[in-house]
Amino acid sequence: MDKTWQKMSEAAKKVQGFTAIGPHMEAGGVAAAVLAESGKIYTGVCVDTACGLGVCAERSALFNMITNGETRISRVLALMADGKNGAPCGACREFIVQLMEKDYQQVEIMLDYEKDKVATMGELTPEWWL
């Protein structure tokens, strides 16, 4: 296993943890780590709301990265509540593609850490806005 994926998985595990914020909001069931072009790893957690205005962990991690002055990524890892990995949802894919518009095809997505299964955004989102 690539050491960078291992560091990203460990970083996501550190921030993951279910937290009830109120009767209509919870956070942390899903955690994500993104690898910025600089090599720094940024993390985020999902925030789920009763009205659907929450945010996924991947976008939360990307917002964290952008807040810290970076705008380019090379890898994304999401850790689901059951400890398995998952691919970004449609909203997250759209955000990643727009963020990395010229190079989104090369962004790597961890699909299954245990099996070392990785796909690219180009494979997951092959024909964006054609």
Choosing from 37, 58, 70, 123, which is the catalytic residue?
A: 58
Q: Is 58 a catalytic residue?
A: yes
Candidates 90, 80, 92, 86; CA nearest to 110 is: 86
Buried b (16+ CB within 10 A) or exposed e, 6-43: eebbebbeebbeeeeeeeeebbbbbbbbbbbeeeebbb
Active-site residue set: 58
